[in-house]
Amino acid sequence: MSVPYSFAASFEADVVALLVTSEAFYNRVGIHVDPARLRDEKAQVIAAAVRDVYETVGKAPGSLSVILQRLRDEHDRGKLPAAKLAACAEYLLDAIDRGLPPVDVAAHTVADHIRRDKQQEVLDQAFTTYAERGSMAEVARKMEATENIGKVDVSFGVGLDGFAEELDSMGVQQRLPIGFQDIDSEMGGGLARGEFGFWLAGTKVGKSMALVQNAVIGLCAGMHVAVATLELDAVKWRARVIGALTGTPYQDITKFGSKSVAFERYAAMRSDPSFGLGTIVTHKFGGHQTTLPDILDWVSREEDRAKKPVDLLVIDYADKLIGRDTRESDYVQMRDVYEGIRTWAEANLRWAWSASQARRVALGDMPTINDCADSQHKVRCTDLMVGLTRHPDDDNKVSAKVLALRNGEGDGAAAGPLPNGFEFGCFVRNVAVGVEVEEALAGNGKEAKDLGIFG
């Protein structure tokens, strides 16, 4: 007889509900969950139905309605009594109504539990094999597979049938501009959904300003933006965002507080549906003491709070994160950090932006792919790497160049010198909103000339 898992009853219900509703959860750990080892009979029935769907169609259901229909079919064939069908449905709905834990957190917990069980099985086999003087190769293979539980997606591959419809439903064609018109046009509109880009620049060139630019562009596109800052405090970050968003000098915002005209402009934009503004949340993390999973856990909590996904994650900036194992070199840690960001963006079909410190380069020189300060892995991990610099003779002018591009066209595309937008908190002056705000306020009897907004 199978030994039941030692899950608490409420967590077991959460696990079963995630098996039903989350393909990502099933692909990571659900395939390893043995329905017979669940304690609750309803959980066993539901988990077995999920396994049946997976083995029949090659993918997890990812839908409550699919499993309820599957159970209904079992009832119609006389294999599941009506009372048990109703109990299973109520069991799932109760778990969902209570609120399910984040997929990453639940998957980590389940993986740890299953991994310990599997390790014990492999150790028992190892002792037997050693006593019989057999080959340990198979034992080693099983131990490696055990270590990968929860880390490897075990879903089946997919074919071409229905690929066009899948692309449309995923929205992979959608692109997010980076704020340099010449570069955006050569890249087909900017960074594609599901991709990760980062800025490479020297000290004091404006990495944080460039990341504010990403956030503001996302807001203007109606997105839910999450900013994890390890550089500036959250107050300065928000001041720069609202400065760029409203075309207001951001230092005036912190200087005058609620009396700043920026808040009047922001209120006008927020109340006017034609602007279609998204939402933003900013959180300060400790530099050189925060891991990427710390930030991704926060993103999951924010999504639960807001009841909507984060479309764009901005990290200011990733070089200040640490890897899971701080005993590793910066070279290895940065590989894990940057690959982790890219994997999150790709797996969730979101955008991610960050920045990296370049080695010392002469004033006005554009950094190259060889100027990443601590790891060439960054270049290999990212989908887009854009270099930034200031004009050597005119500090008010800035330039950008695509240094590395994984997908599509635009590698080597450049823009500038252009007027900077540092006064407004962003990198390029024309990203800060101007004319649109004037038009919004015009209906309130304001004269554009009195607002001091550049056009």
pLDDT, mean of residues 112-132: 67
pTM of the model: 0.64
The answer to whether residues 418 and 399 touch, using CB atoms and an 8 Å cutoff, is yes
The whole-angstrom separation of Cα 136 and Cα 129 is 7
Q: Extract long-range pairs of 76-83: CB within 8 Å, 24+ residues apart.
A: 80/45
Residue 131 has pLDDT above 80, yes or no: no
The answer to whether residues 402 and 408 touch, using CB atoms and an 8 Å cutoff, is no
Q: What is the pLDDT of residue 49?
A: 93
Residue 362: C-alpha distances to residues 21, 69, 304 (Å): 53, 65, 46
* Best CA proximity match to 232, nearest among 254, 208, 250: 208
pLDDT digits (tens, 9 = 90+) for 263-276: 998 998 888 888 88
Q: Specify which residues 386 forms β-bridges with.
A: 199, 402
The whole-angstrom separation of Cα 138 and Cα 362 is 56
The answer to whether residues 204 and 259 touch, using CB atoms and an 8 Å cutoff, is no
pLDDT digits (tens, 9 = 90+) for 245-264: 998 898 889 888 888 889 99
The residues, ordered by sequence, that sit 6+ positions from 272 with a Cβ below 8 Å of its Cβ are 440
* Best CA proximity match to 96, nearest among 54, 55, 65: 65
145: pLDDT confidence band, cut at 50, 70 and 90? low
Q: What is the pLDDT of residue 237?
A: 93
pLDDT digits (tens, 9 = 90+) for 161-180: 655 655 565 555 689 999 99
Residue 162, φ and ψ in degrees, nearest 5: 80, 10
Residue 132 has pLDDT above 60, yes or no: yes
Residue type, 66: V
pLDDT digits (tens, 9 = 90+) for 2-15: 678 888 999 999 99
Q: What is the pLDDT of residue 448?
A: 32
And the tokens for 448? 């554009």
pLDDT digits (tens, 9 = 90+) for 189-247: 999 999 999 999 988 899 999 999 999 999 999 999 999 999 888 899 999 999 999 98
440: pLDDT confidence band, cut at 50, 70 and 90? very low
The residue written with tokens 């800025």 in the block is 199
The residues, ordered by sequence, that sit 6+ positions from 16 with a Cβ below 8 Å of its Cβ are 38, 43, 46, 47, 91, 92, 95
The answer to whether residues 226 and 301 touch, using CB atoms and an 8 Å cutoff, is no
Residue 194, φ and ψ in degrees, nearest 5: 90, 10
Residue 309: C-alpha distances to residues 219, 279, 300, 349, 436 (Å): 14, 11, 8, 10, 27
Report the SS3 class of residue 387: strand
DSSP 208-274: HHHHHHHHHHHHHTT-EEEEEESSS-HHHHHHHHHHHHHT--HHHHHHHGGGSHHHHHHHHHHH-GG
- The mean predicted confidence, pLDDT, of the chain is 82
Residue 102: C-alpha distances to residues 16, 216, 220, 229 (Å): 14, 27, 28, 22
All structural domains of the chain:
9-147 (1.10.860), 175-451 (3.40.50.300)
Using CA of residue 167, residue 173, residue 174, residue 178, what is the dihedral sign?
positive
pLDDT digits (tens, 9 = 90+) for 33-79: 889 989 999 999 999 999 998 888 778 888 888 899 889 988 888 99
Say how many CA atoms lie within 13 Å of 86 toward its Cβ: 3
The answer to whether residues 299 and 225 touch, using CB atoms and an 8 Å cutoff, is no
The whole-angstrom separation of Cα 32 and Cα 114 is 7
Report the SS3 class of residue 316: strand
Q: Specify which residues 414 forms β-bridges with.
A: 401
